[in-house]
Amino acid sequence: MERLIQDDGQPHYGIFTTPPKRINYRDFDFRSPMGRRLGALAKWRRFHQFQYFGLISEQLIVGCALANLSLAGIGFVYLFHPPSGRMIERQFKLPFGFGTHFSQQPDDGLCELRSGRNLLRLENRPSPKEKRLLVELDDGTRIDACFSEDEPRFQPMCISTPAAVNGWVYAQKVAGVRCAGEVRSSLGDFDLQRLGAFAHHDWSAGYMRPETHWNWACLSGQVAGRRLGLNLSCGVNETSYTENCYWLDGELLKVDTVRFAFDRQRPLHPWCISSQDGQVALRFEARGQHQERMNLGILASNFKQIFGQFSGVLRPPGRDEVPVANLWGFVEDQYVRW
C-alpha cells in the first residue's frame, strides 16, 4: 500500500500484512462531528504522532519516546539497571515542536528531537529493514541500538482503526526481536548483543480522540529456546479491530480483547492481564516506573510507564501452552487531553 489515505479522503481500515509506505494525513477529508469540512490549521492541530523504542534485558532496561502533539514536541529517555536499582531519566518539552523532526513514513524516515547538547533520534530504514535508536545526552550517556525485521517469517502488527466520530489511528508494533548495539552511561557500559537484549517498537499516528485513556503491556524474551514478544492494549485501538497479539519466533498470533486489572492509585502493586479468548493469563510485578504529569490547559497528560516482570501462561490455539516466568517488560497507564 503506497498511502494510508485513499483518493476519496478516507483511510484504509483493517489489519495489514505490510505497512503503508506513507501516512498521508494531509489528504484526509477531516470534518467536524457535524459534518463541516475542516481546513489545514485544524488538520495540523489535531494530528498527533509518536514513536517508542524499548530495550529489555536482565542487566538493562531502556525506554525512549518522541511525540509530536502539534502544540508541543515531547521526548523522554530512561535507563534502569535491575541489579542495582539505579536509574537515569531525562524529559524534554519543546513548544510547537521547535527542535524536532517527524517523518510520516513508518519504514523509511527519521524522527528526532534536539535540545541543547541532547539528541533523541529514531531511524526507520527500508533496506535492510531496520529500526535504530540513537541517544546522546549532555551527561555523557549514549545509546546506539538497532534491530532488524529482515526475516521471512516476521510480521509486524499493522493496524488502522476509526477513532471517535471523525478520526482514525494507524499503529505499527514490533516485539520479541533481538537487539544489537551499545550503551555508555554512569550505570555502566553495555554490549547489547552480549547481554542477549531484546527490543520492541511502536510507531503510531492519526486523529486520535481529543480526550483518551489507555493501558498497554509489552514483553520480550526467550522461552524454552523460542523468542517471545507480546503487545496488548485496552482503550485506544479497539474500534472494529484490536492490536492485541504476540509473536513466537516472529510469527504473529492474534488475541481478542484484553482486561487490565490493577490499582490506579498504587500502580506499583501487581497487575493482572487476561484476554477474553483465554489465550492470555499474566501477572505483572513492578520493579520501577517512569512518570510524567503535564497540565497546560489545552494539553494535559498523566503518564505512567512501569517496568517489571511478567509470569503466567499464553495459550495459542491448537498448540502447547507457553509458560512465562519472570520475563521483563512494560505496562502503561495513560490519560491524555490533546
| DSSP string computed for 159-175 | EEEEETTTEEEEEEEEE
Centroid of chain to Cα 300: 19
Domain residue limits at 184: 14-337
Task: Establish if 24 belongs to a structural domain.
Answer: yes
Task: Establish if 77 belongs to a structural domain.
Answer: yes
Contact 38, 282 (CB under 8 A): no
CA-to-CA distance for 257 and 36, rounded, in angstroms?
A: 34
3-class DSSP assignment, residue 193: helix
Task: Establish if 7 belongs to a structural domain.
Answer: no
- Average pLDDT, whole number, for the chain? 96
Determine the pLDDT at residue 236: 86
Residue 333 has pLDDT above 80, yes or no: yes
Residue 153 has pLDDT above 80, yes or no: no
Q: What angle do CA 198, 199, 205 make, to 5 degrees?
A: 165
Structure confidence at residue 170 as a pLDDT band (50, 70, 90): very high
Determine the pLDDT at residue 59: 97
Task: Establish if 46 belongs to a structural domain.
Answer: yes
Task: Establish if 175 belongs to a structural domain.
Answer: yes
Task: Establish if 219 belongs to a structural domain.
Answer: yes
Identify the DSSP state of 121. E
Structure confidence at residue 237 as a pLDDT band (50, 70, 90): confident
Task: Establish if 5 belongs to a structural domain.
Answer: no
Determine the pLDDT at residue 278: 98
Question: What's the structural domain count of the chain?
Answer: 1
Phi, psi angle pair for 249, to nearest 5° = 50, 40
Phi, psi angle pair for 21, to nearest 5° = -75, -30
pTM above 0.85, yes or no: yes
Cell numbers given for 297 = 490547559
Task: Establish if 3 belongs to a structural domain.
Answer: no
Least confident of 34-48, 102-116, 146-160, 245-259: 146-160
Residue 116 has pLDDT above 80, yes or no: yes
Q: How many beta carbons lie within 10 A of that of residue 31, not counting itself?
A: 14
Determine the pLDDT at residue 124: 95
What number is the average pLDDT over the span 8-16?
Answer: 98
